[in-house]
Amino acid sequence: MATRYKNLTVTIVAAVLSGSAPLLAGDDPLQAMLNQIREEEQTAGVAAPSSGLASAIQSFNPDISVVIDSMVHGDDARRGIGRILEGTDGFGPVREPGGFDDGFNLREAELFISSVVDPYFRAYTSIVVTEDDAALEEVVVQTTGLPYGLQLKGGKFLSEFSRSNSQHPHDWDFVDRPLVSGLIFGDGGLVEKGVQLSWLAPTPFHLLLGTEALQGENENMFGHLGRDDSGGTLTDHSGPRLWLQWIKIAPPLWGGHEAQFGLFHGYGRHQDEWDDGINDGWFDGHSRFLGTDFVYKYDAPHAYGKGDVTVQGEYMYRGKDLTLEASQSSPGLVGNSRVDQQDGLYLQGAYGFAPRWRAGLRWDYVGLTNRSRLPDRTTQRFDETHRLSAMIDFSPTEFSRLRLQVNRGEYFVDGEREEVYQVFFQALFTLGAHGAHKF
């Protein structure tokens, strides 16, 4: 067998150096050779984890996919939907609020690479390419063999405190992000560098508990300016500056019914700068968020998704308690606090009314609680913002999806109500092997 390994190693190296296509092709000869080696090892009584060569061959052939997310968009907003989201009363100014240009948009092309590293680790990364730049959205290494239902994950990743935050845009049932998470964290959601520890409890139903220690770099909730970005006004705080805890419960149901319920909480340091042309200030303190989410699915006994149902919802509250550390316009208020309290929710559903066809509705409502207590001890109260969305999509195969969506929203910006209609036509295409989506 040693001679066979030697010859196979030469074959692999030659294939890699020549850049030959079989490494990524569906009829992969390397994978066939790998399977043959494993069969021979099992026949010879060699344990799978001891085969370094088998792991090396697998590392040459990770799962690679590209998802292309493009659309045509139009709205009747006087100042553009991005400006409206940025200045939504109570939540603004929102950094990176999202929004789309009128006409053609290439939202992103996402390159996803994943592979089993060895019997103990799995790794994956996603690289998002837009018309303007390329960004490393996620790069993760996670364990696969810890005892007692434990799993450790580290790197840069989308926090898993809620289902909507842990999903990539092409996984959403609607084109755009729910209002509450977009206004609290920005259009990119909560994605941070850090570590996550989760525990799958040995219960007769699914019970998963997790905690995350994150660097704390989200500008809207857990920004860090430090001495360098504040001209020496603010203090440096070393990371991790953000801590999360969450729990997910999936009770046993009958037939094709599934459901999951979650609770979550996050708390961390937050520094901010305020300058509206009249008042200015440097703030330092803490922010927190908490909430609950759920998802229900019904897998109907019909082909191509006919009769399938998905219902999903989330409520989230955010609070900021920041102390004014310095101000040129109001030096007498230094030492006083600014307290912001906002919340919101959404509820959505999708139904497969025909093979490969779905229709869905979503209702967003933010600002049930929407007030700010300023350093001068006055309190501002703001109106609610809400939005109704309807979509219909068609999936010719599992690798493509076409979607038409219409939004009608009533937004409050600078105390004025603005009604906005949006229309989207989205086209999603997947190239290559893409990993299975989470529940």
With a CB cutoff of 8 Å and minimum separation 6, the contacts of 147 are none
Q: State the pLDDT at residue 38.
A: 57
Q: What's the CATH fold of domain 73-97+153-424? A: Porin (2.40.160)
Q: State the pLDDT at residue 23.
A: 39
Position 162, amino acid: S
Query: Which tokens sit at 125?
Result: 């990364």
Q: State the pLDDT at residue 2.
A: 44
Q: Which residues of 264-291 are buried (b: 16+ CB within 10 A; e: fewer)?
A: bebbbbbbbebeeeeeebbbbbebbbbb
Domain boundaries, the chain: 1-61, 73-97+153-424
Q: By the 8 A CB rule, do 319 and 329 touch?
A: no
- Please report, for residues 165, 379, 387, the alpha-carbon distance to residue 345 in angstroms, rounded to integers and kept in the order given: 14, 23, 11
Position 133, amino acid: D
Q: State the pLDDT at residue 17.
A: 40
Other Cβ atoms closer than 10 A to 254: 5
Q: Using only C-alpha atoms, what is the Rg of the chain? A: 25
**Successive 10-residue mean pLDDT values, the chain, 439 residues:** 44 41 44 58 48 53 93 92 92 87 93 94 95 93 96 97 95 96 95 98 97 96 88 88 98 94 98 79 95 97 96 98 92 93 98 98 97 94 96 96 98 92 97 72
Rounded-to-integer distance, Cα 254 and Cα 181, Å: 32
pTM of the model: 0.85
With a CB cutoff of 8 Å and minimum separation 6, the contacts of 331 are none
Map 16-85 to HEC letters.
HHHCCHHHCCCCCHHHHHHHHHHHHHHHHCCCHHHCHHHHHHHHCCCEEEEEEEEEEEEECCCCCHHHHH
Across-strand partners of 136? 127
Q: State the pLDDT at residue 24.
A: 39
Other Cβ atoms closer than 10 A to 50: 10
Chain centroid offset of residue 10 CA:
42
Rounded-to-integer distance, Cα 162 and Cα 185, Å: 13
